Copies of this chain bind each other. A is one copy, B any other.
Amino acid sequence: MQKNIIDELAELAIGARMKRLYESLSRDVMKIYADHHLNFETKYFTLFYLISKRGEIGIMDIAEELSLSHPGVINLAKELEKKGYIESFKPPGDNRKRSLRLSKKGLKALPEFELVWNKIYKTNKLLFAKQQHHLLKALEETEALLEKESYYKRFKKVNP
């Protein structure tokens, strides 16, 4: 319960705190996948979920949506393909492109994943419900403000 320096730093080390919290959540979610006998890691979630929602989608579109570099997407996709959850194909009309979709195994496993995601969703809802300051809403607000005017610009305005 003792505060360490990052807690004390508060406004200055907010990045470090988010990272710390993210990593702790990530580890626990991984345990949850393992408990459900799903050969899956937290880092795959957004990609797998996105593909499941879109049916099929190209590499660059994924990179855009997930704010990842395209080599990052290629690597994640390679791993998910190796695990057998997705497959790639050449969409007609553009020979540069490669698109991803769920494989048979992925489609079959999807309901199981959805069950887990549902449970995670419920857990989070309850966790946040108890809080005065809602982490998700705070994130949303901060993102929205920074989209209107970047942190850098705000900094310059505050410190001319």
**Number of copies of chain A assembled together:** 2
**B residues within 8 A CB of A29?**
15, 151
A135 and B130 within 8 A (CB): no
A151 and B11 within 8 A (CB): no
Assembly CA distance A28 to B153 (angstroms): 9
Main SS at interface, chain A: helix
Which of B123, B127, B147, B154 is within 8 Å of A123, CB to CB? Answer: B154
* A132 interfacial by beta-carbon distance below 8 Å: yes
* Per-position binary interface string of chain A over residues 119-160, scored 1 when its CB falls under 8 Å from any chain B CB and 0 otherwise: 111111111101111111111111101110011101100110
**3 A-B pairs closest in CB distance:** A133-B138, A11-B124, A135-B138
